[in-house]
């Protein structure tokens, strides 16, 4: 026995792995290839049980084969023969009649006891010329064969679905079946998916566009905030790659063989949809470390410090806020790392990515962002020095002009007042 989680989103299938073989060939031929893929899947040891094939060719069917030459020689009409057989075995109503104010269907059909097996079909009669009854066995034979229970179709093609539960992550299990299908299936066959597998294949490759959009949006917001394209580039380049590296340590250090016990299995996860959500979230969380350093360094430059002195002072002053916010973020997501029970794997994936990325990314950010700031950042105190020089020059010119003016001569008059001489 093994646990199987129901799909998180409605519309999912019964099992996580659901791959569909599509072709225009008959179901019998498609079933042969599906059984070969099923055997290869079990030989790999990646599935808990042999993958289930939905096509079952085990339903008996009897076909009435009319001899056209005999039908023509007896003067019968194929349309009339078909109408008689449809009326006797079809079960369709032809009219209604009323009894005691209630309507009932009129269904022309032979008794159930006379149509329980195919051999009884030979004993029925069809209408011949001039209303003469002719045994069906005279113009027809019965051919028995086995047919599929249902004719499954997808995208207007015959479909055979292979479903199962794998020990591997869903993406790896699908890649295993895809590789076997590419090796076994001839030309004219295609592979599609249903349920969770379809969601993964259709929506799973949207991570890179979503990640690029998140980085671009943050870059544009920071560019508007700092009124510069250099500062956002320093913030993102100095923090995001390092945080991603820290998060991926907890994703790619997992043992590739799920049946082999490895010391990293307890604190690692796989690259799944939940870890992808954690990576996109990590971009916004780790960027605030660079923002704190760059913003304060710019302010110190405007106050007159050099670029190196400003970023060194900013790193020292902003160290405590960076550590406080990082510790709070890591502590807040730590319960996701240790949670157990139903749905724990999804929470563990998000928690490990955020905790690992924030911890390792913060450590490297404290060294990389100041280095990039010294190399790339704009010198913000040059404009201020020019303004100071201009104001000093204006002040000296004013003082020189005042010193060149002659001093007025004053003399005391008879009333004791001072007046120009």
CATH code, domain carrying 302: 1.20.1640.10
- pTM for the whole structure: 0.59
Confidence grade of residue 249 (pLDDT, cut at 50, 70, 90) = confident
What are the C-alpha distances in Å from 43 to residues 46, 49, 54, 198? Answer: 8, 11, 20, 24
Cα distance between residue 173 and residue 23, in whole Å: 22
Residue 246 inside a domain? The answer is: yes
Q: Are residues 209 and 300 in the same domain?
A: yes
Domain count, the chain: 3
Q: How far is CA 269 from the centre of its chain?
A: 17
Cα distance between residue 356 and residue 347, in whole Å: 14
Q: Shortest CA distance to 152 belongs to which of 281, 21, 267?
A: 21
| Residues across the chain | 421
Q: Are residues 289 and 375 in the same domain?
A: yes
Please give the residue that has the higher pLDDT: either 385 or 243.
243
- In the predicted model, what is the mean pLDDT of residues 291-320? 89
Residue 318 inside a domain? The answer is: yes
Residue 6 inside a domain? The answer is: no
Residue 404 inside a domain? The answer is: no
Tens digits of per-residue pLDDT, 376-419? 888 876 555 555 555 555 555 555 555 554 555 555 555 555 55
Q: Are residues 180 and 250 in the same domain?
A: no
Tens digits of per-residue pLDDT, 155-165? 889 999 999 88
Q: Are residues 116 and 229 in the same domain?
A: no
Residue 388 inside a domain? The answer is: no
Range of the domain at 73: 61-144
Q: Are residues 182 and 313 in the same domain?
A: no
- In the predicted model, what is the mean pLDDT of residues 200-205? 76
Single residue among 193, 224, 251 that ends a domain in this structure: 193
**How many CB atoms lie under 10 A from the CB of residue 266?**
8
């Amino acid at each position: 026995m093994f646990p199987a989680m129901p799909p998180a989103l409605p519309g999912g299938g019964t099992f996580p792995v659901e791959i569909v073989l599509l072709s225009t060939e008959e179901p019998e031929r498609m079933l042969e290839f599906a059984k070969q893929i099923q055997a290869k899947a079990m030989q790999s040891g990646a599935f808990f049980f042999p993958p289930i094939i939905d096509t079952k060719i085990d339903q008996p069917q009897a076909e009435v084969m009319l001899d056209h030459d005999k039908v023509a020689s007896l003067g019968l009409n194929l349309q009339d023969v078909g109408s008689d057989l449809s009326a006797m075995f079809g079960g369709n109503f032809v009219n209604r009649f009323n009894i005691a104010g209630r309507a009932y269907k009129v269904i022309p059909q032979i008794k159930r006891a006379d149509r329980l097996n195919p051999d009884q079909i030979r004993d029925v009669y069809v209408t011949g010329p001039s209303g003469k009854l002719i045994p069906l066995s005279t113009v027809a034979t019965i051919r028995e064969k086995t047919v599929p229970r249902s004719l499954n179709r997808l995208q207007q093609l015959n479909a055979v679905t292979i479903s199962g539960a794998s020990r591997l992550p869903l993406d790896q299990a699908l890649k295993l079946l895809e590789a076997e299908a590419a090796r076994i299936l001839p030309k004219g066959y295609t592979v599609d998916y249903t349920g969770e597998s379809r969601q993964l294949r259709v929506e799973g490759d949207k991570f890179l566009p979503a990640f690029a959009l998140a980085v671009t949006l943050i870059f544009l917001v920071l560019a508007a905030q700092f009124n510069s394209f250099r500062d956002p580039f320093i913030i993102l380049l100095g923090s995001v790659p390092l945080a991603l590296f820290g998060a991926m340590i907890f994703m790619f250090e997992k043992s590739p063989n799920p049946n082999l016990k490895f010391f990293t299995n307890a604190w690692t996860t796989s690259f799944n949809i939940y870890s992808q959500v954690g990576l996109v979230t990590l971009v916004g969380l780790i960027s605030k470390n660079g923002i704190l350093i760059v913003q304060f360094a710019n302010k110190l430059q405007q106050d007159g410090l050099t670029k190196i002195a400003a970023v060194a002072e900013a790193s020292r002053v902003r160290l405590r806020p960076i550590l406080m916010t990082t510790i709070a973020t890591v502590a807040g997501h730590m319960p996701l790392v240790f949670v157990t029970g139903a749905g724990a794997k999804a929470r563990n994936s998000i928690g490990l990515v955020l905790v690992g990325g924030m911890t390792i990314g913060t450590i490297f950010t404290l060294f990389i962002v100041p280095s990039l700031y010294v190399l790339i950042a704009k010198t913000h105190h040059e404009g201020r020095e020019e303004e100071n020089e201009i104001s000093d020059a204006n002040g000296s010119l004013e003082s020189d002009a005042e010193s060149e003016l002659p001093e007025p001569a004053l003399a005391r008059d008879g009333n004791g007042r001072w007046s120009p001489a």
